[in-house]
Every structure is written in structure tokens, then in C-alpha cells.
């Protein structure tokens, strides 16, 4: 039997030629800060008021920091948000 030809990658695996996670998370957090999403800033998540309480630096899991750089506290609890999900209040 011949060896199986492999094409592509397994789901959930990061390719080696991509930007390192730490750099992409750092640039996402910096971009959020430059847009005015600093700690203590009041924001709206949809129509729910909240407060930016920190930045997400997770490099694995469902809500990684490069996609969801903001940590926002609302009346419903603490959540990780993308910049396009929140508005400055």
C-alpha cells in the first residue's frame, strides 16, 4: 500500500508561516487602544452599557485575543468582545 498523500492541515492547527500569536494579539490590543477603548471607558455592547475592564491576551481557546481583544463588564456579566461589537458611549 502506498502512503496516504496529505494535503492541507488539521482543523484547529495553526500554520507555521503565519504571524506568531503574541504579535497578532498585541497588535489587536494596540488597535483597540488607538480607537479609544481604554480601561475604564464606558461602551455599549449592542444596546447594553458596559465598562472596559481589561484586554484579552489568550492565545488559545474559543475567544482568542487577536479576534476578541476587549474584556467588558456589563450588568449581565463579563464578556470578551471584538472591536466591531462595541461602541463608545
CATH of the domain at 67: 2.30.30
Q: Which cell is 62 given?
A: 474559543
Residue 8 covered by a domain = no
pTM of the model: 0.75
CA–CA gap between residue 56 and residue 85 (Å, rounded): 15
- Contacts for 73 with CB less than 8 Å, ≥ 6 apart: 50, 51, 53
Residue 48 covered by a domain = yes
pLDDT digits (tens, 9 = 90+) for 15-60: 555 666 677 899 999 999 999 999 999 999 999 999 999 999 999 9
Residue 27 covered by a domain = yes
Residue 6 covered by a domain = no
Domain that holds residue 82: 21-88
Count structural domains, the chain.
Answer: 1
Amino acid at each position: 500500500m502506498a502512503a496516504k498523500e496529505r494535503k492541507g492541515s488539521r482543523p484547529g492547527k495553526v500554520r507555521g508561516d503565519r504571524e506568531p500569536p503574541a504579535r497578532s494579539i498585541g497588535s489587536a490590543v494596540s488597535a483597540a487602544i488607538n480607537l479609544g477603548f481604554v480601561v475604564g471607558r464606558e461602551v455599549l455592547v449592542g444596546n447594553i452599557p458596559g465598562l472596559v475592564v481589561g484586554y484579552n491576551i489568550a492565545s488559545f481557546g474559543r475567544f482568542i485575543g487577536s479576534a476578541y481583544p476587549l474584556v467588558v463588564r456589563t450588568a449581565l456579566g463579563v464578556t470578551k468582545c471584538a472591536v466591531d461589537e462595541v461602541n463608545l458611549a
